[in-house]
Amino acid sequence: MRQEISSPDSSLGEAPTAELIELALRQTGDLVRAEASLVKAELEENALGAIVAAVNMVATVVLFVLTVALNTINTLLILETNLPTTLLTTAGILVVFGLVAAIAGIHMAPKGVLGRSRERVAAEIHHIEDHAS
């Protein structure tokens, strides 16, 4: 989708300044529209991946925590501990799992959003600067 900037030919050298400015603005507009389209596609791709990962992580953590909580309650009741101790122990375990899941979610969140777009824009700017001088 990237369009190369053609080298200046003799017809551009003879063109009036107004036409050259109009041509530059048109090409800049085309470049901005193309870049916006690429950024949108990259954001959609990142968002979909993040949503799928988040849903899978939440489902896994919920099932795991429920399993551990129920097994803890069963174990403590089998050992004939009193009910308040059982409930407090289970609540403590759930809090720890919640904190672990929150920390894992923070570390798994995408951090390089629009990284490819930034690189493309920097390369385009460098390319334009090289050809402008």
Smallest CA-to-CA distance from 90 within 75, 112, 107 is with 75
Q: Which helix (H) or strand (E) holds 47?
A: helix 17-78
Mean per-residue pLDDT for 94-121?
75
User: What pLDDT shows up at residue 89?
Assistant: 79
The pLDDT confidence band at residue 11, using thresholds 50, 70 and 90, is low
| Rounded mean pLDDT, 8-32 | 76
Residue with tokens 């939440």: 58
The full set of domain ranges for the chain reads 10-132
Q: Is the pLDDT assigned to residue 4 strictly greater than 50?
A: no
Q: Give pTM, 2 decimals.
A: 0.42
**Confidence category of residue 53, pLDDT binned at 50, 70, 90:** confident
Per this entry, what is the length of the chain? Answer: 133
